[in-house]
Amino acid sequence: MEVPIINRDELKRLIETKGEYVLIDVREEDELKHGMIPTSKNVPMSEFNNFFDLDEKEFKEKFGFEKPKKGDNLIFYCRSGNRSHFATEVAAEKGYKKAKNYFGSTNDWSEIDSNVEKY
């Protein structure tokens, strides 16, 4: 399956212009100490399968933000782009047709944001 990608400049522009998107970090909790990309929410890969099965109320209680709608512009990232690639595939299969992978992920983002470190 071909997975749509977004590059760093496109993501940076979306963040700066407060565009319409939901940015999801699929790294595990212990990795978050290395910093997160601004505006992102965390849904650890280890809990990712539950992501789609929860109703809106359960989702908000578990992850702390509104469950994305199927028409939302979803962007996934991790450390290097591999887990987020898988997350994007799963999201597309579940009907999230606008899902994209930020393949560079935090390794790439760390080059422009001192709050995010490469590890």
In terms of C-beta density within 10 A (0-12 exposed, 13-18 middle, 19 or more buried), how is residue 29 classed?
exposed
Find the catalytic residue in 23, 24, 45, 78: 78
Q: Is 34 a catalytic residue?
A: no
> How many whole angstroms from its chain centre is CA 30?
16
Helix (H) / strand (E) element for 13: namely helix 8-16
- Please name the residues in contact with 93: beta carbons below 8 A apart, sequence gap of 6 or more: none
Active-site residue numbers? 78
